[in-house]
Amino acid sequence: MKMTRRTMVWGAAAAVLTLGLGAVALPDMVRAAAPAASAAVEVWKSAGCECCDGWVRHMRAAGFDVTVHTVDDMTPVKQAAGVPDELGSCHTARVGGYVLEGHVPAADVTRLLTERPQARGLSAPGMPQDAPGMDMGTGQPYQVVLFGGAGGPQVFARH
């Protein structure tokens, strides 16, 4: 085929159209590939809580953008977030429309943001000794619970 100005213009137009159509799907592919990279996490914690600070470091190391709010009383925060008493822990966070209660591992948060289940959020109830931020190294297993969904609380991950 002879390269003329007309074939170059048509070729360029076809390329622009192809790239434009591909770009429509690109944001979803990027979000699915790396939800943590763009996820902003807001954390509410009590002053002086070193384990909460450890969890914040864990989340930042995993690529989350974390903002911390220090409060005197966590009870109203947990109530406003809809955290059941039996699933409570030391800090409460929000990310991507979900609630995170306690020392939920970053990998579980990434999975939550990828799968997007219909639920209020995740909790690592109590203070699991080997959860991120606690880091006791005891070898004791713990569970992360998905809560606020139609089926009631259920195990989301085992560690």
pLDDT, tens digit, 9 for 90 and up, residues 127-144: 999 999 999 999 999 999
- Rounded distance, CA 27 to CA 131, Å? 32
pLDDT for residue 154: 97
pLDDT for residue 48: 84
* CB 69 within 8 Å of CB 42: yes
Q: Which CATH class is domain 35-158?
A: alpha beta
Tokens of 117: 């289940």
Phi-psi region of 16 (alpha: psi -120 to 50; beta: other; left: phi over 0): alpha
3-state secondary structure of 17: helix
Whole-prediction pTM value? 0.77
Q: What is the pLDDT along the chain (159 residues), one digit of tens a residue?
A: 454 544 443 444 434 333 333 333 333 333 344 455 568 999 999 998 899 999 999 999 999 999 999 999 999 999 999 999 999 999 999 999 999 999 999 999 999 999 999 999 999 999 999 999 999 999 999 999 999 999 999 999 999
Alpha helices in 5-105 (DSSP H): 5-33, 50-61, 75-81
